[in-house]
Amino acid sequence: MIPSLGAGGRRGAAWRFEALQALDWPLFAVLAVIAGGGMLMQASISGGSLDPWAGAHGLRFLMAVGVAIVIGLTPLPWWLRLAYPIYGMTLLLLLGVEFFGDERLGAQRWLQIGPMSLQPSEIMKIAIVLATARAVHDTPTALLGSLRASLLPLGLIIAPVGLVAHQPDLGTSILVAISGLSIVFLSGLKWPVIAVAGLGGAIAGPLFVMFGLKDYQRERVLTFLDPGRDPLGAGYHITQSKIAIGNGGWTGAGIGQGTQSRLDFLPEQHTDFIFTALAEETGFVGVMVLIGLFGFVFLRLMAIGADCRNLFGRMVASGVAVTIISYVLINMAMVSGLIPVVGVPLPLVSYGGTAMLTVMVGIGLALSARNGAAMTMPPMSSLI
């Protein structure tokens, strides 16, 4: 818990010192180990060099830690006040992608703003957590968990999911949906509503696969069901990924000794498929260590949410926890052939600045919730 922000002079300096002390440094230490593992793997697959990925990855992480600290020291009511504006601005950026976005590899996902290339769909993963948490906070207690109370959060979720899916970016649209829906669920959604939603999803899912997917996305689903149907084409990624994971055995081939990585059999090995390189070089032991580290992060964030007296902070911390662990589970399942390939990076391990910043911004918001855990949040009327 950090003290009041009204101090000045010596008291202000004391507050800054105490606030820094109050940050969750064990959490930062575990995040640094995860990012360091990603840096090590990127150096390994580039022949032991910090260029072109490992050095930039480490520098980005240090900068992202600074961002997380600033966000974590920001009073929680500020994020309550800014939740809808941040969501609205991110939604406008997604609309901007539709008209002005750069197309790369057949997808229109990026906005070029001066020298900076921005992927608004990544920002939306956090913006949707803030917006849905604000919507839940503004709901009268007696209505929490009802279908009526869920309509606004669901509306907030549907708009960005549709825009991201149209880019097309199925993986990110799924993560945005999971991030928002987790808030709706954790707010105390009643079981009859869950049952109706589950039935609707069971009916809509096959229809979406048949009529809502692009041809290449539908091909990924078919390849998942039968990887051997096109082993040198659509099934190449997942076939090589499974070979690399199998080569790892119990203890791995050793750092820099992965044949799939060194011989460039693995595509996109520094981004979405970096887990396969890690599995080949560190084996089952290394994979379990990584899963344990991510498990610590998830449980730590959920504990922060559980300790929050105010509903907004509880939903934000829990929503960030679900978002990060969803990244992890979807990426690992994807590269292991357990689900179709959807293009989701492994947090802090895969190379990519926007995805890393998204994760660390989420960590910062959870730390802000932790610092305001015992705070009674103001009602909506006082924030308008």
DSSP 26-94: HHHHHHHHHHHHHHHHHHHHTTS-STTTHHHHHHHHHHHHHHHHHHHTS-HHHHHHHHHHHHHHHHHHH
pLDDT for 198: 76
Q: At residue 308, what are phi and psi to the nearest 5 degrees?
A: -75, 130
Using only C-alpha atoms, what is the Rg of the chain?
Answer: 21
pLDDT higher than threshold 80 for residue 194:
no
Question: In the structure, what pLDDT confidence band is assigned to residue 261 with cuts at 50, 70 and 90?
Answer: low
Say whether pLDDT at 97 is over 90. Answer: no
Burial group, residue 17, by CB count within 10 angstroms (0-12, 13-18, 19+): exposed
Structural tokens at position 148? 């009526």
DSSP 6: T
The pLDDT value given to residue 244 = 80
Q: Inform me whether the pLDDT recorded for 98 exceeds 50.
A: yes
Residue owning tokens 């949707």: 128
* Residue-level pLDDT at 108: 64
Other beta carbons within 10 angstroms of residue 69's beta carbon come to 18
The whole-number average pLDDT for the span 23-32 is 92
Buried b (16+ CB within 10 A) or exposed e, 113-130: eeeeebbbbbbbbbbbbb
For residue 1, is pLDDT > 50?
A: no
How far apart are the C-alpha atoms of 182 and 180, rounded to whole Å? Answer: 5
Mean pLDDT of 198-227: 71
pLDDT at 8 over 60: no
Higher pLDDT, 379 or 373: 373
> How does pLDDT run across 349-374, given as a tens digit for each residue?
998 878 899 999 999 999 999 886 65
Residue type, 251: T
Q: b/e string for 160-171 if b means 16 or more Cβ within 10 A?
A: bbebbbebbbbb
SS3 278: helix
Q: Which residue has the higher pLDDT, 287 or 204?
A: 287
3-state secondary structure of 230: coil
Q: Residue 253 — pLDDT band, cuts 50, 70, 90?
A: confident
Nearest Cα residue to 252 out of 54, 21, 44, 113: 44
Q: What's the pTM?
A: 0.85
In whole angstroms, what separates CA 326 from the centre of its chain?
A: 7
DSSP 3-state of 4: coil
Report the C-alpha dihedral over residues 355, 339, 211, 162, rounded to 10 degrees. Answer: -20
**Across 2-16, 118-132, 269-283, 289-303, which has the greatest mean pLDDT?**
289-303
Helices (H), the chain: 9-22, 25-45, 54-72, 76-100, 120-137, 147-166, 170-186, 191-211, 215-225, 236-248, 259-262, 274-307, 311-335, 353-371
pLDDT band for 35, please (50, 70, 90 cuts).
very high
143-152: per-residue pLDDT in tens?
877 777 888 8
Mean pLDDT of 152-157: 90
